Amino acid sequence: YVFESVGNKRTLNINKCNLSDDAAYECVIGEEKCFTEVFVKEPPVTITKLLDDVHTVVGEKVEFEVEVSEEGANVKWMKDEVELNRETAGSKYRFKKDGKRHVLIITEATKEDIGMYYAFTNGGESKAELEVEDKELEVLQSIADLTVKAGEQAVFKCEVSDEKVTGKWLKDGVEVQPSDRIRIAHFGRTHKLTIDDVKPSDAGDYTFVPDGYALSLSAKLNFLEIKIEYVPRQDPPKIHLDAGGRGNKNITVAAGNKLRFDVEVTGEPAPVVCWMKGDQVVSEAEGRVRVETRKTVSSFVIEGAERGDEGPYTITAANPVGEDKAEIFVRIVDVPKPPENVKCTSVGEDSAFITWDPPSFDGRVPVKGYLMERKKVGSSRWTKLNFDVYESTTYEARKMIEGVLYEMRVFAVNGIGISQPSTSSKPFMPIAPTGEPTHLGVVDVTDSTCALKWRPPEKIGAGGIDGYIIEYRTEGSDQWVQANEEPVGKNQYRVKDLPGGEKMLFRVFAVNVAGRSPPATLSQAVTIREIVDTSSSSSGGEHKALQGQPRDIVPPECPRPSPGPPHQTVCRRPTPFSPHP
């Protein structure tokens, strides 16, 4: 506080006001008093980074983040119309401040959290929408039936889409407990049950049940008991591709997965088995593509299948008594390549139409549909637009903000899985078309031209105006003809090469990146003819066309001059900007 006394004047100065200076002040001199009040307001705090919409699934963590213009500023959070604070939020919400950053954290999202969330300061506000979907678990690889012999190892393995999911294994409805001979493993998205030194009592139905999901995967363990009888005879080789006999076999495997195809081969003496692809022999040594032999079973193995592994394979079994041959065809399928040429074809006030081309390679499995994501330019967070596959290659994205730049990307989905994301579209901005031009009128008419003039639309919007398009048609026709190839920037235009003597109608569109506005149309037709000044300066009364100056328009209600003595009747040009000729 600084006090000043100059002559009869007394002054109290308060430097660097703060909220504590908001009070009443009184000046007392003897028995005389006077008072006043000082009101101190906080400076406005603006929001410099807006909230982003969030699309998530049940159980996931959600964060809404804003940045404000001042550190230490107060930010009020609301859901729909209910304020969220530390006293009322409980353990459901957490609030975090980091300098100018303010974050609202929802630890585990539920369907009850769906709604609009708001952040308020004393100088601004922002809002975002939270969408929560039920969480689904996808089975990437199911468990398969096994047939093993005594003393061998049995391995059941499955893969699910969420690596955090736990579960339990059951045998004939009873939970399997680990032991020296039985091992249960979980790494990443894969769950494995391994049984060493298989015994007849291990045969049965095995089931994997993920925790928290109404889902189960089942397979059967068959115990193969082999009895060897020594019979002094010889049998020709026989290849058993199926349990019922021999024949061709088609096998489909997803790229990156392991293929193991067991074939039982019988014969006495034991046949020599050879696998071939074309004229190339498949080695029995260690390798990615190899053959493993166990007694009477020959196993064809591919580790991490690749597209080059596709093709026909031949298995031949031979012994001194004869030979047998069979063929299998290995077909490699994969996730599709990303969609191509993602682009925005048109925009509206809060929407945009997006198109793309199907992937150049569908993974040899038909594409079921597509998943779309969008984000604001400058943001790193992509928002999912759909959880169920979308079959068309044209999509209308909605709920966007006019004047904000967005990008889109698309994923292709087939029966194997989801492709990598496409290349992001070029940035686009939702913008509404302008209103129609106003005060359209005729300025001048000649025997083949008509000059028009108008004023800009009353509503222009964020997209501005790129120019105007002018169209005309003959009265009685419904075919409009565009007069200018490129939009004109001025608010006037002369339409040329019009048919003389015809009555013509005209209309004008305003154009911006969102397209054409509604048209401004003349309500009456204009007759295309040269206007003649009937006041003659010669004694013969001849008519002279106006030359070297704009021609007047003869309105339909003006009488045409008739032959005879000179007279002084002149039809005047309509006032500029008149909506009618």
Instruction: Give the model's confidence band at 531: pLDDT under 50 very low, under 70 low, under 90 confident, else very high.
Output: low
In terms of Cα–Cα distance, which of 174, 176, 181 is closest to 151? 181
What is the model's pLDDT at position 183?
Answer: 93
**pLDDT, tens digit, for every residue of 301-339?**
888 888 888 889 998 999 988 899 988 899 889 999 999
Residue 246 has pLDDT above 70, yes or no: no
Sign of the torsion formed by the C-alpha atoms of 188, 385, 338 and 425: negative
Residue 229 has pLDDT above 90, yes or no: no
Q: Which amino acid is at 305?
A: A
Mean pLDDT of 6-17: 92
**pLDDT, tens digit, for every residue of 181-201?**
999 999 888 999 999 999 988
Instruction: Give the model's confidence band at 381: pLDDT under 50 very low, under 70 low, under 90 confident, else very high.
Output: very high
CB atoms within 10 A of CB 226: 8
Cα 420 to Cα 160: distance, rounded to the nearest angstrom: 19
Cα 353 to Cα 478: distance, rounded to the nearest angstrom: 30
The chain-wide mean pLDDT, for the chain, equals 84
Task: For 47-102, give the secondary structure using H, E and C.
Answer: EEECCCCEEEECCCCEEEEEEECCCCCCCEEEECCEEECHHHHCCCEEEEEECCEE
* Bridge partners, residue 28, by sequence: 33
**pLDDT, tens digit, for every residue of 16-65?**
888 889 999 999 999 999 999 999 887 888 989 999 999 988 888 899 99
**Among the ranges given (1-5, 11-15, 263-267, 347-351), the one the predictor scored with the smallest mean pLDDT:** 347-351
Cα 235 to Cα 231: distance, rounded to the nearest angstrom: 10
For residues 438-473, one letter each, b for 16 or more C-beta atoms within 10 angstroms of the residue's C-beta and e for the rest, the string is eebbbbbbbeeebbbbbeebeebbebebeebbbbbe
**pLDDT, tens digit, for every residue of 482-506?**
999 999 999 999 999 999 889 999 9
Cα 137 to Cα 144: distance, rounded to the nearest angstrom: 19
**pLDDT, tens digit, for every residue of 399-416?**
998 888 999 999 999 988
CA torsion, ordered 391, 397, 398, 402, to nearest 10 deg: -170
Cα 436 to Cα 54: distance, rounded to the nearest angstrom: 37
Residue 158 has pLDDT above 60, yes or no: yes
What is the model's pLDDT at position 371?
Answer: 96
Residues of the chain with pLDDT > 70, as a percent, come to 89
In terms of Cα–Cα distance, which of 400, 407, 474, 456 is closest to 431? 400
Please, are residues 172 and 205 in contact by the beta-carbon 8 Å criterion? yes
Sign of the torsion formed by the C-alpha atoms of 397, 399, 402 and 408: negative
* Bridge partners, residue 523, by sequence: none
Which residue has better confidence, 508 or 512?
A: 508
What is the model's pLDDT at position 60?
Answer: 85
**pLDDT, tens digit, for every residue of 550-578?**
444 434 433 444 444 333 333 334 434 43
Please, are residues 508 and 443 in contact by the beta-carbon 8 Å criterion? no
What is the model's pLDDT at position 555?
Answer: 42
